[in-house]
Amino acid sequence: MDFQSPIHDYYEDLAPRYDEDRFGNSYGRYIHQQELAIMNRLIPIEPTGPTLDLGCGTGRLLQWATHGLDYSPAMIEEAKKKYPQHILQAGSAWETPYEDHIFHTAYSFHLLMHLQPQEIEAVFQEAARIIGPGGRFIFDIPSKKRRGLVGYKADSWHAAQSLSLKEIKWMDTSIWKLQRYSGVLFLPVHRLPNSLRAPVRWVDNLLCRSPWREYASYMVVELIRL
């Protein structure tokens, strides 16, 4: 498998500006809030055992983890400033330095969408190795159904991949069970004037948990390691 130098170099360069560049605007802030709400529903804030943030970047979501791994040493350095007590290492998501079944929970946000299909497959295999039976793998991924509706065309590696619920359900059912999933960003709330955002956000949150949630922009999926 190729060393993903374009992705590595991209995040090495972006690291000091990543938080502001990605989450300092209305779109980023909105997605961040929805993801925080989902994480709060899924994971207790005090980790009950070793918990991994895979592709942790600058540590935006590290508060639920004990460990963080990222391809880019510069991103890890930013994360260490926020979480000096965490065990943070540079490394690849499909060849991690961890022992078998060491984690009860691992989660990964805004990572899989940048990888090639065979790399995504390799990350799931690695997650199955490091997460113990009964443990959980939580990840986000752009919704293929939504992208089909809006005619999305990828023009680079950046956020190029998406998955449908059907594809996620087809994943090796002797290893993973789909436990639940939520949507993120069903309506373009971030594009509305501030005065309209509060009521529309309420509707958006409802839609992101409704039977139509696969049509949100992203899905956050929880798999159980069998």
Ligand X SMILES: C[S@@+](CC[C@H](N)C(=O)[O-])C[C@H]1O[C@@H](n2cnc3c(N)ncnc32)[C@H](O)[C@@H]1O
CA distance 39 to 184: 12
Q: Which of 30, 51, 52, 60 contacts ligand X by CB under 6 A? A: 60
Pairing of strands 103-108, 131-142: parallel
* Chain centre distance of CA 103: 17
Q: Which of 109, 181, 186, 215 contacts ligand X by CB under 6 A? A: 109
Q: Which of 88, 93, 138, 219 contacts ligand X by CB under 6 A? A: 93
Which region, judged by CB under 6 A, interacts with ligand X, from 53-61, 124-132, 148-156, 200-208?
53-61
72 lies in the binding site for ligand X (CB under 6 A): yes
The angle subtended at Cα 210 by Cα 209 and Cα 216, nearest 5°, is 75
Characterise 55 by phi-psi region: left (phi > 0), alpha (psi -120 to 50), beta (else). Answer: left
Residue 136, both tokens: 């959980």
With CB atoms as reference, the residue minimizing the distance to ligand X is 57
Q: Using the minimum distance from each CB to ligand X, give the nearer residue, 93 or 128.
A: 93
Interface with ligand X: number of residues (CB under 6 A): 18
Q: Min. distance of Cβ 193 from ligand X in angstroms?
A: 27
67 lies in the binding site for ligand X (CB under 6 A): no
- Contact at 8 Å (CB) between 89 and 72? no
CA distance 59 to 76: 8
Looking at residues 8 to 27 of the shown chain, list those that interact with ligand X (rule: CB under 6 A). 11
Query: Residue 106: what residue type?
Result: A
Residues that bind ligand X (CB under 6 A): 4, 7, 11, 55-57, 60-61, 70-72, 75, 92-93, 109-111, 114
